[in-house]
Amino acid sequence: MNTKQVIFILDDDESVALMIEQYLKDSIPDNDIYSFTKCVDMYEHSEFYNMSLLIIDIKLSNKVHVNEIAYELNNNDFNIPYLFISGKNYDYECFNKYDYTYDFIKKPFDLNELLNRVKVLLKVSKTYKLHATQQSKLQVSLKELFDYTNIYLLILDCNMKIKMCSYKLGTDLGFDHETEIIGLSWKQFIKEKDITKIENVLKNVVDDTKKYQKFLREVTNKIVTRSGTTINVKWFNSRIKNGQVYTFSIGIPYNRKVTPLDDIDSIRSYWKHVLDKDETTLKALRNVV
């Protein structure tokens, strides 16, 4: 197992950045450590997407808000911790609204203290990456589960563009592979008279208002294949929120069952359990899209 981790240091004071870089290279030589004075250089580095920890000066001269940098990175699947280098009187309250792991070290700081904090945050980062690996395996397993059953899986963006679908749904619609319909509008597979109804249902699922929550998560409509035939489908809808909001739907064709023992009531019971108690399925699918 590769235990090497990548540390980035961003400080517009080159002497400080180089001092930290050299000290960490001497102290934890089994890791890759790089220092930068400009954000653009950091973003363009070949190891950027492998970053395990970012050490960053809290007040860069170009007035970049470092809490916003951390937020944007984590919002784009950079689930890493941050070590902020701050002045004596910095107001830390602005960080409370952000959901990422961070620590502060005040200037002037002791290099041994810096090293200790780095070691702790690297352990946090390793835990994050292990979790991400396990989550990725779960995502693959879920996708395979849907591909080899009669269940339809469908994920739509806010404009009803298809972000993901199961193999079974794609082939039943008349395509050789489900990836062929990624990016297409779901409206072209719905009868024109039903489009407004489906739009309203999905809008309220995304809004997730309590008024509509109970009865608008389920809807039945006919989907239209490439050959013009129709399939009557019972849909169970929810939302996935990960930066953007998507509609996540499980569809049960009325002309077949998932297994010999399955029926609509048992599927409804399972779906309610997923939504109300164990959201593992929804959480695992967030990063897929």
| CA–CA–CA angle 231, 220, 186 (5° rounding) | 65
- For 281, the domain range is 148-288
Do 126 and 182 fall into the same domain?
A: no
Instruction: Compute the average pLDDT of residues 18-31.
Output: 95
- Sign of the CA dihedral 273, 275, 280, 282? positive
Residue where one domain finishes, among candidates 137, 165, 180? 137
- 147 vs 283 pLDDT, higher one: 147
Judge whether residue 166 has pLDDT over 60: yes
- 16 vs 1 pLDDT, higher one: 16
- 204 vs 184 pLDDT, higher one: 184
Q: How far apart are CA 164 and CA 99, in angstroms?
A: 27
Q: The domain spanning residue 22 has which CATH number?
A: 3.40.50.2300
- 285 vs 254 pLDDT, higher one: 254
pLDDT band, residue 115 (cuts 50/70/90):
very high
pLDDT band, residue 105 (cuts 50/70/90):
confident
Do 122 and 178 fall into the same domain?
A: no
Residue where one domain finishes, among candidates 137, 172, 187? 137
Q: Does 142 fall in a domain?
A: no
Do 32 and 96 fall into the same domain?
A: yes
Judge whether residue 268 has pLDDT over 50: yes
Do 130 and 155 fall into the same domain?
A: no
Q: How far apart are CA 31 and CA 24, in angstroms?
A: 9
Q: Which residue has the tokens 């007040």?
A: 59
Do 205 and 164 fall into the same domain?
A: yes
Q: What are phi and psi of 65, to 5 degrees?
A: -85, 110
pLDDT for 86-95, tens place per residue?
776 666 666 6
What residues contact 58, with CB distance under 8 A and at least 6 apart?
A: 66, 84, 85, 86, 87, 90, 104
Do 48 and 71 fall into the same domain?
A: yes
Quick one: tokens of 252?
């049960």
Judge whether residue 27 has pLDDT over 90: yes
Domains: count for the chain: 2
Task: Give pTM, 2 decimals.
Answer: 0.48
pLDDT at 86: 79
Q: The domain spanning residue 195 has which CATH number?
A: 3.30.450.20
pLDDT at 73: 76
Do 123 and 190 fall into the same domain?
A: no
Q: Does 1 fall in a domain?
A: no
Quick one: tokens of 248?
């996540």
Do 33 and 165 fall into the same domain?
A: no
Q: Which of 70-84, 96-110, 114-128 has the highest mean pLDDT?
A: 114-128
Instruction: Compute the average pLDDT of residues 30-48.
Output: 91
